[in-house]
């Protein structure tokens, strides 16, 4: 258990979400023979009863580092003035978290109440109180700390995307306010210093194709997944990746961490002769349709945050008159682009508005496509080198 606690604390630090030491360092508890924590902390007496009342095996507590602390603090203050919830519009939040409850009291009761209905809770002390520490994000793990790590990471991603999406909208409509402007000015240095830069051969290392056997395919996929996570092109560590060889599609499993793909890649025969795809990525159907339509051999999908932000950008006049303005993520009828990169709506799965219907045809005009609120898909003919370059270039364009 100690190794697991350290592993996910280190992941939060390496992702830039937490300080490596001090009160802002990640705090993670797990049940083994007894309840153990990765470090001593004054929050432990409040958090320990949460295990008993929720019947969980792990709990992740994060006081986000900058710029997430400023962003989550601002959104939490606004939430406490209204519904008590933050409602991001990115795909991962809509699908898994739904909304983010905010409590104004660091106590067992509001924590348990929120976590009995949602996967996370944000604790933000009232403005009237002295704030020596920033907001806290708390998420349980039913079985392991991994679930809590994923959810607190997703909260940081979702709030980042929401604040900048909202700010861009307010700028376009002339409805910013001094407090929002102040937050943007304070986080701007972090925005300028973070994110992917121009891709050069020395900035990443990927296996060149063509690949001739399963071992080469899975090694190349694992390497590409590691690079996507290392370059911050994901929410937590999610995305998916596939490679076609000898009438078999090798694809990452559903829920698999892109930086730990060894043993988490499924071989799915293109003729449907096996049930191996039952554990494959939820976007297997989209991958299969893209390959059938384009003839590509490799597909890489990540959730770069600035690409997600701009994918949800819309002209205010157009949005006001649009009959689908509350269902943009599945039914936006307006052709939209960032540069030459198409943006399409669509939802995970095979429903009438599933990505398997909306995404493949967009590749007729481009080898890179952005999905509304969801991220970037890129294709290649031989290996993952062009997809990684294209994804990074799109994210840099969107950031700029």
- The confidence score (pLDDT) of residue 328 equals 77
pLDDT tens for each residue of 358-371: 999 999 999 999 99
pLDDT tens for each residue of 200-226: 444 568 999 999 999 999 999 999 999
pLDDT tens for each residue of 288-306: 999 999 999 999 999 999 9
Q: Give how far Cα 235 sits from Cα of 32, 190, 243, 282, 397, Å.
A: 29, 18, 22, 16, 19
Query: What does the alpha-carbon distance between residue 330 and residue 373 come to, in Å, rounded to a whole number?
Result: 10
Strands 58-62 and 85-86: unpaired
Which residues are registered as beta bridge partners of 265?
252
Segment 151-163 shows an average pLDDT of 96
- The confidence score (pLDDT) of residue 132 equals 79
- The confidence score (pLDDT) of residue 201 equals 43
pLDDT tens for each residue of 244-276: 999 999 999 998 999 999 999 999 999 877 666
- Say if residue 69's pLDDT is above 80: yes
Query: What does the alpha-carbon distance between residue 10 and residue 343 come to, in Å, rounded to a whole number?
Result: 35
| pLDDT class of 278 with cuts at 50, 70, 90 | confident
Instruction: Tell which wins on pLDDT, 235 or 203.
Output: 235
Query: What does the alpha-carbon distance between residue 203 and residue 195 come to, in Å, rounded to a whole number?
Result: 13
- Cis peptide, bond prior to residue 378, ω within 30 of zero: no
pLDDT tens for each residue of 174-192: 998 999 999 999 999 998 8
Taking a C-beta distance cutoff of 8 angstroms, is the pair 162, 91 a contact?
A: no
- For residue 238, the number of C-alpha atoms closer than 13 Å in the C-beta half-sphere is 23
Q: How far apart are the first and last CA of the chain?
A: 42
Q: What is the pTM of this model?
A: 0.93
DSSP H or E segment with residue 342: strand 341-344
DSSP H or E segment with residue 10: helix 2-14
Segment 36-44 shows an average pLDDT of 96
Residues above pLDDT 90, as percent of the chain: 73
DSSP 3-state helix, strand, coil percentages of the chain (rounded to 5)? Answer: 40, 20, 40
Q: Tokens representing 399?
A: 């950031």
| pLDDT class of 198 with cuts at 50, 70, 90 | very low
Segment 312-327 shows an average pLDDT of 77
Q: Which residue has the tokens 């943009």?
A: 328
pLDDT tens for each residue of 96-137: 889 999 999 999 999 999 999 999 999 998 887 777 789 999
Sign of CA dihedral 177, 178, 182, 185: positive
- The confidence score (pLDDT) of residue 199 equals 44
Tell me the pLDDT of the chain averaged across its residues: 91
Quickly list H helices, 129-260.
145-173, 178-193, 214-230
Burial of 332 (0-12, 13-18, 19+ CB in 10 A): buried
């Amino acid at each position: 258990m100690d190794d697991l606690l350290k592993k996910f604390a280190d992941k939060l630090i390496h992702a830039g979400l937490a300080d490596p030491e001090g009160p802002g360092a990640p705090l993670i508890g797990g049940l083994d023979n007894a309840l153990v924590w990765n470090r001593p902390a004054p929050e432990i007496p409040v958090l320990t009863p949460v295990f008993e009342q929720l019947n969980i095996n792990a709990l992740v507590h994060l006081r986000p580092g900058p710029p997430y602390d400023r962003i989550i603090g601002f959104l939490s203050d606004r939430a406490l003035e209204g519904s008590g919830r933050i409602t991001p519009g990115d795909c991962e939040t809509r699908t898994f978290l739904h909304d983010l409850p905010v409590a104004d009291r660091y106590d067992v009761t509001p924590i348990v109440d929120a976590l009995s209905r949602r996967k996370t809770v944000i604790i933000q002390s009232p403005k009237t109180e002295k704030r020596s520490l920033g907001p806290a994000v708390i998420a349980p793990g039913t079985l392991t700390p991994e679930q809590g790590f994923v959810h607190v990471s997703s909260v940081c991603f979702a709030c980042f995307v929401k604040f900048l999406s909202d700010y861009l909208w307010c700028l376009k409509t002339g409805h910013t306010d001094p407090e929002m402007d102040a937050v943007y000015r304070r986080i701007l240095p972090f925005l300028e210093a973070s994110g992917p830069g121009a891709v050069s051969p020395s900035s990443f290392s990927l296996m060149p194709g063509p690949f001739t056997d399963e071992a080469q395919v899975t090694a190349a996929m694992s390497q590409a997944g590691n690079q996507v996570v290392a370059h911050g092109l994901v929410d937590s560590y999610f995305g998916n990746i596939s490679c076609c060889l000898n009438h078999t599609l090798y694809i990452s499993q559903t829920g698999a961490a892109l930086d730990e793909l060894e043993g988490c890649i499924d071989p799915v025969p293109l003729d449907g002769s096996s049930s191996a795809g039952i554990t494959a990525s939820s976007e297997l159907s989209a991958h299969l349709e893209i390959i059938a339509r384009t003839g590509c051999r490799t597909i890489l999908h990540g959730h770069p945050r600035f690409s997600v932000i701009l994918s949800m950008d819309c002209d205010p006049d157009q949005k006001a008159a649009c009959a689908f303005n509350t269902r943009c993520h599945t039914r936006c009828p307006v052709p939209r682009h960032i540069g030459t990169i198409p943006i399409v709506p669509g939802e995970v799965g095979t429903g009438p508005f599933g990505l398997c219907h909306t995404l493949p045809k967009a590749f007729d005009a481009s080898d890179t496509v952005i999905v509304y609120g969801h991220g970037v898909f890129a294709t290649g003919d031989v290996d993952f080198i062009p997809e990684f370059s294209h994804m990074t270039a799109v994210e840099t364009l969107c950031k700029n």
